[in-house]
Structure 1
Amino acid sequence: MASLPLSTTPNPPNSPIKPFESFKKYRSSETHLPGKVKSSQILRKSYINRISSLCKEGLLHEAFSVLTQMEHDDLYIGPEVYGELLQGCLYDRRFFLGQQIHSRLLKKGSFFHKNEYIETKLLIFYAKCDCLVIAEDLFLRQPKPNVFSWAAMIGMHCRLGFYGKALMDFCEMLESGIFPDNFAVPNALKASSALQWIGFGKGIHGYVWKMGFASCVYVLSGLVDFYGKCGALEDANNLFEEMPERTVISWNSMLVGFMHNGLNEEAMELFYAMRTEGVHPTRVSIASFLSASANLGAVDEGKQGHAIAVLSGLQLDNILGSSIINFYCKIGLIEEAEIVFNEMVERDVVTWNLLISGYLQDGQIDKALYTCCQMKSQNFKFDSVTLTSIIMACANSCKLELGKVGHGYSIRNGIESDTAVACSIVDLYASCGRIGDARQVFRAAITRDLALWNAMISAYAHFGMSSEALKLFYQMQLEGVPPNVVSWNSTILGFLRNGKFCEAQDMFSQMQLTGVRPNLTTWATLISGLAQNGFLYEAINLYGQMQEEGRRPCSMIVVGVLLACTNAVALHYGMVIHGHIIRQGLLSSISVTTSLIDMYVKCGQGNIADSIKFCSNEQLLYSAVTSDSGLQQK
């Protein structure tokens, strides 16, 4: 980066003539030349206006050229000129140039660098550039920080994730007699929502009303965002509806609130209302709408969101590009995601991770690994998300050697302690039959969250090591990690794999007694496991229990219980289950239909089996002739 084109000061640092004294001498000489004074004042003012205009336009080097011309014309350059230049550096985040201005101010003496206006400008510059150490040092040097200094510190601490410190700044600001303005308040609200301190945020809300900020759209938008992220959507919506004026920031705050609380349909409706009101969406608006569309599987709506972004002329940056890629990957349109990815001018690690994850979800493991190689070749460093994706791809394809390379990379880069990475490594070794290596990784983990415990219990269960799975199940509770339904399911599976069917049923009973509600995986694991191992009526009774609880079975559960009916030659139960299948609309499943036919054949009801077979073939024929491919074949 080029250095500042500043000419040498006429008064070197060691000169006995101080800048302020030089200025007084210059001013006293001007009193004898009134016409010249007036002319120089007009010229100086025009130069300063020119510098300010160039800084706002981002033309910093041109602004510094004007400064050089001022020095050449022997015009006085006061602190306000350097303040304008610092503001210009702040607009474009030109940190190196800002440092050079700071150095220049120090050389010009205390009249400049200890000027309150310049001190505040320097503090704001370093704070906005997130230069924590220098900003805090400048803040402590100020004898009495003003409202702008406090707001800069609160904003910086909030951006850097020091939310508690940001709120301490807010409190200290009030104690010092400085009243927070409409810049400090939204940052304090952001810190409160990040910490989920709803009481503190409500206190700020009261302060807003007391100090007359109730009409400030920026502050009100901050309150909507705060209540939304704290789960108080009713309060957020009431504020939003009562706002005298709404900007796109206000709409975005409400959109993000809905998305944060999983209200996808409400978010989509709000987006349409926003469009009806004539508010032009931003990247945040489109990103929220696309996330809602992806979560609801709304393909057409999501494509419309993409089209709106294109028609609005929004740049395909990391935020918007990543949102569109995420949408297409979630709905399984990987080719469209690739097109968007290739159109992006700049990509960050998040963008690469989304595409890799999309390939994995679509089962394109080799393509996911190839994309990782491309990412590496473009000098992007793998983070924990990338590495987890790589190792999971190796686990799914049983590529142990490549997975071990990923394990080594995690150790060399100090991310092997990341719980997501550790889980993927445990899954890798378990899927490749290296249970001892999986155990070693688990024991070496510094912190163990629920996912890591479940990964190791699942590994033991997969190999039928029920004793080890049960021991780990109790150990996790002793270490203060309560089991969830996944933990229970894995332990039950371990007993079934080891042939301990009574213990599996006892574990299921304990699960219900502790208040953990079995999910479909629980029922499917137990019913199928019992049916396959001769516990036929136990499997049928479990299916009846499931029906009493009002749970809709999946095809795997139905196949399991039909197997039990077939092996027990229990025609009556099989016919009852046939009725459930019809009511639940599960006849479209080939595996269910095949099991049903097999049950009737084994129970001596071949005529019913033939009837089901005929109906099934007729349905398949109807589907074929009504589809485009079927018509073409016909």
Structure 2
Amino acid sequence: MLLQFQLLHLDLSKVYQSLSRTKQLHSLIIKTHLSPDPFYATRIVRFYAVNGDLHSARKVFDESPSRSVYLWNSIIRAHAQAHKFDHAFSLFNRMVRSETKPDNFTYACLIRACSDNFDLEGLRLMHCGVTVSGLGLDSICSSALVTAYSKLGLVDEASRVFHGTPQLDLVMWNSLISGYGNFGFWDKGLELFSMMRCMKVVPDGYTFVGLLSGLKDSSLLSVGQGIHGLCLKSNLDSNDHVCSVLVSMYSRCRCMDSAHKVFSGLFEPDLVTWSSLITGYSHSGDYEKALFFFRCLNMEGKKADPILIASVLAAASQIANVAPGSEIHAYVLRRGLESDVMISSALIAMYSKCGFMGIGTRVFKIMPEKNIVSYNSLILGLGLHGLAAEAFRMFNEILRNGLVPDESTFSALLCACCHSGLVKDGREIFRKMRKEFGIEARAEHYVHLVKLLGMEGRLEEAYNLILSLPEPVDSGIWGALLSCCDACGDSELAEIIAQKLFESNSEKSAYTVMLSNIYAGDGRWDDSKKLRDYITERQLRKTTGVSWIKGFSRSA
């Protein structure tokens, strides 16, 4: 009997037991009349919860005559971890009314549940409960509160809890640094990191991950490189999680050589790291490399998710080569992902931009579910191919199906009007967007409207429209009018617009080339040469245009 009892305790001391073994242990506890003891009930509840059998866990709890705080915490945690948040809080309310009062672990569990459920009201209630219970200075509750507030973006509240805690552990430091990073306050994260080092707290991998996650702009590359150096000094260069975030940071900063160097040092990069590298190459304009590494990903036997597949389809469309796009389409069909709306929408865009509008339309027609994104992709494709009437028909279908058009819908419709020279229709669409659908016009909408007016020769009207816009005016809008001046040969207005662009510090060489062409067309060769020399001196480079579309087996 003693040996059996010792074996039972040995089994109960383990972190995990299979469901079948849990049932055997439960039966043994019942047979030996140990079930009234909350210690045994607690262990069985935890084993059932780990195996996802909440029904059996709840049955053990409900049949327990004596409930310790550990048993209450176990059943509440079981429901919270299964995202049965209402049941978890219902049990908490029962616990408050019972003889057993919540402890710091009870509150910490429910605080985590609030952050997982993005329940700010519940989180504030739990914070009040912590304070009323005299646990305001407890490190476990404080750590949970800092983490929860940081996750929900309430970094000021997280900071107040943090600075009011007498004993700060590494988890709290990391949580607040991550909160600052995730919500764009990278500078505050660095300040906190400096304070952490002054207090002789040793950072770990999660600290650096929090710092790096806030660096989302190429202007912060030097900051990221400095943090990378600290990672090396801290011997964290072999930490997969840190390296993965370094790849993401360098990719966001368009420093792809460094991103690839870190990536190459990983023994087995995960899908997130692969995605960061591939999308980084795509956003940097190196579409061939993006497609190359996508093929490498497939050869490694990893399965891309819909977001990555949509990204590489966008890369394929940018190089105007349908071959890699059709290969990805075949990959999608093999994986059975053709019904995914994001992927299908990306396929429509890819085929239309590569000149195969018919295939794009067929992809749209066989989609089992269509949302506004898929309609927008088709409307834009039809517009680019000069099929404005079909684009308008799709817009009417959107309204019949009860879908709500968005900014991208009207941008696509205005683009269709531009490509077909439909000034009157374009004006009406612009009016409807603002008056009937309550959508504020963005720079992209004004670009299309200015082009519509300008290409019909209404340069002065387009110019006055831009002057009526609030400052600063997006350079793309001025650029649209400059291109119209180029087409209409109006060098006088072109000079005025060029001056506006230079005042806005726009260094796009395309605008300078346009003005140079206008001067040349007007016989002002000296002025044209000066601008060309300026481009050479400043090492500006105009993006090469693609005047062909590579098909499956021929060039069109």
Q: TM-score range by the shorter chain?
A: 0.7 to 0.9
Farther off after superposition, 368-377 or 321-330: 368-377
Match of 1:148 in 2: 70
Could you tell me which of 510, 524, 542 is aligned with 2:447? 524
CA drift of 1:203 comes to 1.3
Question: 1:537: which partner in 2?
Answer: 460
Give how far 1:103 is off.
4.6
| Compared CA separation, residues 95 and 306, structure 1 to 2 (3 A) | farther
Which of 284, 291, 302 is residue 224 of structure 2 equivalent to? Answer: 302
1:184-223 map, 5 Å: 184-223=106-145
Instruction: Report if the CA contact (8 A) 1:562-1:599 is conserved.
Output: no
When residues 575 and 353 of structure 1 are mapped into structure 2, their CA distance, relative to the original with a 3 A threshold, is closer
- CA shift, 1:386, in A, is 4.1
CA contact (8 A) 1:439 1:456 kept: yes
Distance in 2, Cα, partners of 1:380 & 1:95: 31
CA 1:493–1:126 in structure 2 vs 1: closer, same or farther (change >3 Å)? same
Q: Paired residue for 1:137?
A: 56
User: Quick one: distance in 2 between partners of 1:565 and 1:368?
Assistant: 37
Shift of 1:132: 0.7
Q: Please, which of 299, 322, 331 is the counterpart of residue 406 of structure 1?
A: 331
Q: 1:376 to 1:613 in 2, by over 3 A?
A: closer
8 Å contact from structure 1 (residues 558, 592) kept in 2: no
Instruction: Determine helix, strand or coil for the equivalent of 1:332.
Output: coil
2:116 and 2:312 map into 1 onto residues whose CA distance is: 31
Q: Is contact 1:214–1:220 with CA below 8 Å preserved after alignment?
A: yes
SS in 2 for 1:78: helix
Pair 108,246 (structure 1): closer, same or farther in 2 beyond 3 Å: closer
Separation in 2, partners of 1:195, 1:117: 30
Matched with 2:343 is 421
What residue is the counterpart of 1:246 in the other structure?
Answer: 168
Give the one of 484, 487, 512 matched to 1:564. 484
- Tell me how far 1:385 sits from its aligned partner: 3.4
CA distance in 1 between counterparts of 2:31 and 2:88 reads: 30
User: Which amino acid in 2 is paired with 1:214?
Assistant: G
Q: Per-residue displacement from partner, 1:505-536 (whole Å, max 9, x unpaired)?
A: 33223334455333332233333454345443
* Structure 2 counterpart of 1:350: 272
Structure 2: distance between partners of 1:210 and 1:519: 50
When residues 444 and 210 of structure 1 are mapped into structure 2, their CA distance, relative to the original with a 3 A threshold, is farther
The aligned counterpart of 1:591 is 510
User: How much does 1:617 deviate?
Assistant: 5.7
Partner of 1:553: 474
Q: Is the alpha carbon distance of 1:465 and 1:177 closer, same or farther for their aligned partners in structure 2, counting shifts above 3 Å? A: farther
Q: CA deviation at 1:408?
A: 0.8
Deviations 1:375-416 (A, max 9, x none): 4444433433343345444444322431331231242xxx44
Judge conservation of contact 1:330–1:358 (CA < 8 Å) in 2: yes
The 2-side partners of 1:612 and 1:313 are apart by 52
Secondary structure of the corresponding residue to residue 585 of structure 1: coil
1:293 aligns with 2:212: no
User: How far off its partner does 1:326 sit?
Assistant: 0.8
The alpha-carbon distance between structure 1 residues 607 and 101, as it changes in their structure 2 partners (threshold 3 A), is closer
**Matching residue's letter, 1:592:** Y
Residue number in structure 1 paired with 2:493:
573
Aligned to 1:504: 426
Does structure 2 retain, via aligned residues, the 8 Å contact 1:105–1:113? no
Q: Deviations over 1:190-216 (max 9, x none)?
A: 332333322222111111111111111
Task: Name the CA distance, whole Å, in 2 between partners of 1:391 and 1:615.
Answer: 37
Once the two structures are TM-superposed, the CA of residue 187 in structure 1 deviates from its matched residue by 2.9
- For residues 431-461 of structure 1, give each alpha carbon's deviation from its aligned partner in whole angstroms, at most 9, with x where no partner exists: 3444454345445545544433432332232
Distance 2:165 2:247 in 1: 34
Q: How far apart in 2 are the matches of 1:600 and 1:390?
A: 40
Q: Deviations over 1:236-264 (max 9, x none)?
A: 33222222222222222223333443333
Aligned residues: 532
d(CA) in 2 for partners of 1:450, 1:246: 48
Q: What is the 5 A alignment of 1:214-293?
A: 214-293=136-215
Aligned residues of 1:268 and 1:289 also touching (Cα < 8 A): yes
Shift of 1:560: 3.1
> Residues 48 and 57 of structure 2 are in contact (CA less than 8 Å); yes or no, is this contact kept in structure 1?
no
Q: Is there any run of 5+ residues in structure 1 with no aligned partner, and where?
A: 1-18, 24-75, 622-634
Shift in alpha-carbon separation, 1:504–1:342, aligned structure 2, 3 A: same
Q: Quote the RMSD (CA, aligned, Å).
A: 3.5
For residue 324 of structure 1, report the CA deviation from its aligned partner: 1.5
Distance in structure 2 (CA, Å) of the matches to 1:401 and 1:545: 46
Separation (CA, whole Å) in 2 of partners of 1:427 and 1:469 = 14
Gaps of 5+ in 2: 541-556
Contact 2:183 2:214 (8 Å CA) reproduced: no
Q: Write the distance in 2 (CA, Å) between the matches of 1:448 and 1:164.
A: 33
Residue type at the aligned position of 1:581: L
The structural deviation recorded for 1:223 is 1.9
Alpha carbons 2:147, 2:158 under 8 Å: kept = yes
2:412 corresponds to 1:485: no
Quote the residue 1:14 is aligned against.
none
Paired residues of 2:29 and 2:40 also in contact (CA < 8 A)? no
Deviation, 1:429, is 3.2
1:111 aligns with 2:111: no
When residues 390 and 583 of structure 1 are mapped into structure 2, their CA distance, relative to the original with a 3 A threshold, is closer
Asked if 1:312 corresponds to 2:234, the answer is yes
| CA displacement 1:591-610 (0-9 Å, x = unmatched) | 22222234345556666556
What is the alpha-carbon distance in structure 2 between the residues aligned to residue 578 and residue 224 of structure 1? 52
Q: State how far apart, in whole Å, the 2-side matches of 1:317 and 1:282 are.
A: 10
Deviates more, 1:529-538 or 1:208-217: 529-538
- Contact 1:189/1:201 (8 A) holds in 2: yes
% identical equivalent positions: 21
* CA spacing shift, 1:402–1:607, aligned 2, 3 Å: closer
Which residue does 2:545 correspond to in 1?
none
Say if 1:329 and 1:358, in contact at 8 Å, map to a contact too: yes
Distance 1:363 1:472, change over 3 A: same
SS at match of 2:214: helix
Q: 2:105 aligns with which of 165, 174, 183?
A: 183
Deviation at 1:166, TM superposition (A): 3.9
